[in-house]
Amino acid sequence: MGLVGVQEKGNGEVGLSIGTKNKYRRMDSEVTEDFDDGSHHHHQEKRSSSTRKYVLACAIFASLNSVLLGYDVGVMSGAIIFIQEDLKITEVQEEVLIGCLSILSLFGSLAGGRTSDIIGRKWTMALAAIIFQTGAATMTLAPSFEVLIIGRFLAGIGIGFGVMIAPIYIAEISPSVTRGSLTSFPEIFINLGILLGYVSNFAFSGLPEHISWRVMLGVGILPSFFIGAALFIIPESPRWLVMKNRVEEARTVLLKTIDNEAEVEERLAEILLAAGTGSAEKYEEKAVWREMLSPSPTLRRMLITGFGIQCFQQITGIDATVYYSPEIFQGAGIQDKSKLLAATVAVGVSKTAFILVAIFLIDRLGRKPLLYVSTIGMTICLFSIGVTLTFIGQGQVGIAMAILFVCSNVAFFSVGIGPVCWVLTSEIFPLRLRAQAAALGAVGNRVCSGLVAMSFLSVTRAISVGGTFFVFSGISAISVLFVYALVPETKGKSLEQIELLFKDEHEWQGSEVELGDVVHLVQKQ
């Protein structure tokens, strides 16, 4: 039809704006123009709705792995009370059992980058679910601390794979205008998993101690079955397909995820260029690991931003707050087990509810404003927890303030640095390095998480729980400066455009305005 011919002509012309109707106004007949314009508009609306639903489904299914991590974090905070009583483990063993998951998951994250480049993003998610499921089953049936650690090792590897690949997959399959909110989905599901873990603790705390913690851990196996079903629905990442020279398959996926055919062709051309397929001479053949070990100034800025934001997400103490919330509330004066676990449910609700605020705002306000709100808010809350536990002490006022500030701290975390951290590391790196560079960031995240979780009880014995939160508050204040100095705004830009932001650090602000204006103009047209 004439319409199709004109669209093909539009794709080949330089300077046409994306998503406008202008390219269809080249018909000889005014009547034909009006008819085609109306039918095209109706078709475009239907296709746009279908595309949004498809991308949303892909993001949800890809995020299911994150439920596993969240559930483990949440459930272990309560299960450890019963494991202590049943297996008679020491305080050091408790720290190792809780913290080792994060340390072990770094091996999964390290291997995940290379694995996802070889077998694809989709099947790396499948591998993550299988390994975690095996680990969860081992922990559920563990007769001793040693077997529990083996199960923890497997669960950690599976979580390491899952936590680094889901944001990359979603970022690579999402349209630019919704990429921020969609790439935040794994963080929603982590929070949902934490909340489910807390609820599981509360629900099964009445069972005999040698059964209760096994049931709590065993329930974590269930999400893996949904992940298996999801693999039959979601497609492979179009950017990975281009890396493997499966360009037609990539085009097919893009046609399902972008509602404008002209934009599909433009995005495909950008991906080909970024992958080095469109102009191979642009990139010298260089091993990815070697390129990251001796990075160019541009890549160095990317690595500092990505690795730094991942580390700050954890060294501000969020996992310690979540894992050890029962101990924190005990320090404030709550002694009854059921009341302790009920208070942790309040923490889980806060953490989950406020991630929804971030999802709503991340593509409207942008990444950087949310990071400012988050890091400044956390700094104030962490300092307030320190003041409460150090100077106010036990009693009704101390308990109320401790619950308020702990819930506020996790809320500020969920509004900004929690989800934005993963969004940034999935979108700032070039395609050829993305999986392995993001994996390096995930390793930093997991190492910091593990070190904080494994040392928290020992540090609190040395400088008190309140003193530990003063330290976390100081680190959080430094993270505010890090965001100001080293994190650019990436809202509304294609993954290929974001790479340009790091070309010259002195032109970040100008580039942001220029590229942002272009995106807004395109959307308005």
Counting beta carbons within 10 angstroms of the beta carbon of residue 43, is it exposed (0 to 12), middle (13 to 18) or buried (19 or more)?
exposed
pLDDT of 287: 66
Tokens standing for 96? 């190792």
- pLDDT for residue 478: 96
- Which residue is listed with tokens 């002209």? 262
Per-residue pLDDT of the chain (525 residues; tens, 9 = 90+): 333 333 333 333 333 333 333 333 333 444 444 445 555 555 556 667 778 888 888 888 888 878 877 888 778 878 888 888 888 888 888 888 887 877 788 788 778 878 888 888 888 888 888 888 899 899 989 988 899 999 988 988 888 888 778 888 888 888 877 777 887 788 788 888 888 888 888 888 888 878 888 998 888 888 777 777 787 888 988 888 988 888 889 888 888 888 778 878 888 887 887 776 444 434 433 567 777 778 888 888 889 999 999 999 999 988 888 878 877 888 777 777 777 778 888 888 888 888 888 888 888 888 899 999 999 999 999 999 999 888 886 778 888 898 899 999 999 999 999 888 888 888 888 877 887 888 788 888 888 888 888 888 889 889 988 899 999 999 999 999 999 998 888 887 776 777 777 875 554 444 443 334 334 433 443
Residue 44: its pLDDT value, please? 58
Q: What is the DSSP string of 82-109?
A: HHHHHH---HHHHHHHHHHHHHHHHHHH
pTM above 0.85, yes or no: no
Question: What local confidence, expressed as pLDDT, does residue 262 receive?
Answer: 80
**pLDDT reported for residue 469:** 94
User: Domains along the chain?
Assistant: 48-259 (1.20.1250.20), 298-503 (1.20.1250.20)
pLDDT score for 30? 43
518-525: long-range contacts, CB 8 A cutoff, minimum separation 24: 519/176, 519/177, 519/492, 519/493, 520/492, 521/17, 522/17, 522/18, 522/19, 523/19, 523/177, 525/17, 525/19, 525/20
Task: Output the CA–CA distances (angstroms, integers) from residue 277 to 244, 266, 313, 464, 473, in the order listed.
Answer: 10, 15, 35, 57, 47
Q: Are 385 and 466 in contact (CB under 8 A)?
A: yes
Closest CA to 245 of 268, 267, 277: 277
